[in-house]
Amino acid sequence: MKHFMLTIAAFIAVSGLSFPGSLAAQNLTPYLSQEAVASSLAILPAPPEPGSVEFLLDEYCYQRAKLLRDTPRGHQAVVDANMDGSVLLQFAESFGLEIRQETMPATYELLMRAKECFGTYGCSEAKNHYKRTRPFAYYGEPSLTPQSEAWLVHNGSYPSGHSANFYGLSYILCTLRPECQDAILKRGEDGAYSRVIVGVHWMSDIQASHIVAAAVFARLQADEEYKAQWRLAKEEVDRALGRYVEPARQPRRRTATNRASAN
């Protein structure tokens, strides 16, 4: 475990973890406002109470996940904690393309602007209302991301914003490459579960975030700005894959004036 924690420390020193990823620094704004997304407080049940059967399941899942910490899966869970633009690279294998701001700007913008809608606006009402204690604080144990604990201890655990991001991003990526949907959705599920492995979320937090992500994804489909950006991203992805087909030009209709001139 000592060797693994040193690996984590080295990773943090090199890459830096951000909570949450900043859109303001990139001059990007979310597609939806807080008022536009469904209320997480309205659509989610209350989190399990300590002593309930549901909470016992949360505790069991937490203990099981701890067994993965000193493994490659545990290392991946630490990487998954980063919510800046590098989170998109975690889908590179399943999506089949690396999404970087420099090389795929339209797709990058689509996903980063949507991300804030999932993890921040989609989750905030329930988080602020329940103020659920996170596992590492409940047990008085260190998580795998100790540098974030001072912030996380004051941020409600239910639902998981990081997990909502992973689920939501996977849904959008599936619309861009539906032929890869199985692998993409699996990566989204793995990214969400990473929060349990790290020790900053209960399993019921993850399950609730799935509902939030679905609600926000549905709302995005009615947003005209999102849809316009999605079309740009779809063209960009298809061009990168070498399968983009230019739209057929419509023949010009001859008007009465044109016909008269021709005569």
SS3 for 71-92 is: CHHHHHHHHCCCCCHHHHHHHH
Max Cα–Cα distance, the chain, nearest Å? 90
pLDDT for position 211 = 98
| Residue recorded with tokens 């579960």 | 193
Peptide linkage before 159 cis (omega within 30 of 0): yes
pLDDT for position 244 = 75
pLDDT tens per residue, the chain (263 residues)?
Answer: 433 333 333 333 333 333 344 455 467 899 999 999 999 999 999 999 999 999 999 999 999 999 999 999 999 999 999 999 999 999 999 999 999 999 999 999 999 999 999 999 999 999 999 999 999 999 999 999 999 999 999 999 999 999 999 999 999 999 999 999 999 999 999 999 999 999 999 999 999 999 999 999 999 999 999 999 999 999 999 999 998 788 777 777 665 555 555 55
pLDDT for position 91 = 98
Sort 17 into a burial class: Cβ within 10 Å, 0-12 / 13-18 / 19+.
Answer: middle
Angle at 97 (CA atoms; ends 191, 167), nearest 5 degrees? 25
Q: Give me 81's structure tokens.
A: 């904690």
pLDDT for position 245 = 80
pLDDT for position 203 = 99
Following DSSP, what letter does each residue of 30-52 receive, concatenated?
-SS-TTTSPPHHHHSPPPPPTTS
pTM reported for the whole predicted model: 0.85
pLDDT for position 197 = 99
Distances (CA, A) of 160 to 13, 56, 123, 233: 25, 19, 7, 27
Q: Give me 71's structure tokens.
A: 């493994």
pLDDT for position 187 = 98
Q: Are 182 and 215 in contact (CB under 8 A)?
A: no
Following DSSP, what letter does each residue of 109-120 receive, concatenated?
HHHHHHHHIIII
What are the catalytic residues? Answer: 162, 195, 201, 205
pLDDT for position 20 = 41
Q: Which CATH superfamily is domain 2-243 in?
A: Phosphatidic acid phosphatase type 2/haloperoxidase (1.20.144.10)
- CA 56 vs. chain centroid, Å, equals 27
Q: Phi first, then psi: what are they for 250, rounded to 5°?
A: -80, 130
Q: Please count the CA atoms within 13 angstroms of the CA of 189 that sit on its side-chain side.
A: 6
Helix H or strand E encompassing 22: none
pLDDT for position 184 = 99
Following DSSP, what letter does each residue of 138-168 receive, concatenated?
HHT---S-GGGHHHHTTS--SS-HHHHHHHH
